[in-house]
Amino acid sequence: MDACVADRREARAITGRDLHSYLRRIGLEAAIADGPADVGLLRTVVAAQIASVPFENLDIHRGIPVDIEPAALVDKLVGRRRGGICYEVNGLLTLALRGLGFDAHLVGAEVLTDAGYGPPLGHVVLVVRIDGHPWLVDAGFGGEALVEEATDGDPGAGTAYDVRFESGSAYRTDGVLRPLADFVAMAHWHSTSPGSRFTRGIVCSVTRSDGRYTLSCAPGGDYRLTITGENGREARELDDADVVEVLRREFGVALADPPRPRDVGAAARL
């Protein structure tokens, strides 16, 4: 492994009371922390997190930029029972997995768009090493989770990986281990730039055993709840009162006054 890659490792983790609070947040017993850090535990934690911690950008449309400092992640996603975008949910997952004994680190990724690959570090993915083997892990790609062993090179030691989901969404990792702080600038960009997909509309999504629940709202449009499961796709529009209840019931998010999309892009074009 290249020395400069190895030097990008960091060891910050959530432990003790914060780790137990995280496990309660995702519906797991504290005793699970006493088990081995194996693939079974990894899959259990990822599945529990994507079912409990929404992938959402509500604060961006409330004018609150994303903060990915570890203390801020624990406060927002665990203490206040909110969700976040990729840097937040995957950042929290990394800290928790380390606390559970996993060798977990972050790599950057470029997301494939209609115009080609997006900016470097536009997404963040985990590399988790189990029994010497690297696994790619992602709980922050809009409800499409990834727990997959890397069998063609090492994504934490210089190998770029192309990841494609059944939906057609895709990205390419950069093969460089990075601390969470490397993503601060792109987290701010996604919070404020008209070029970011997160400033163009609202999304809130969880994936449970019975399907994916997604709340969305485009600028000038109505909120819509979409449920995608084994029996197909069902969508319905919501009025403002419905939104408050759906956020609470389906996503565990308590907001008395859900935001309307800010449409930063439209403002920038004026």
Q: Which residues are catalytic?
A: 86, 123, 138
∠ CA 116-118-121, nearest 5°, is 150
Q: What is residue 139's DSSP assignment?
A: S
Q: Which of 198, 197, 207, 76 is nearest to 138 (CA)?
A: 207
CB atoms within 10 A of CB 12: 14
Q: Which of 49, 68, 74 is nearest to 207 (CA)?
A: 49
Where b means 16+ CB within 10 Å and e means fewer, 105-115 reads bbbbbbbbeee
E strand or H helix at 125: strand 123-130
Cβ neighbours for 195, distance < 8 A, ≥ 6 positions apart:
189, 265
What is the spatial distance between Cα 126 and Cα 108, in angstroms, rounded to a whole number?
Answer: 9
Tell me whether residue 94 is exposed, middle or buried, using C-beta atoms within 10 angstroms of its C-beta: 0 to 12, 13 to 18, 19 or more.
buried
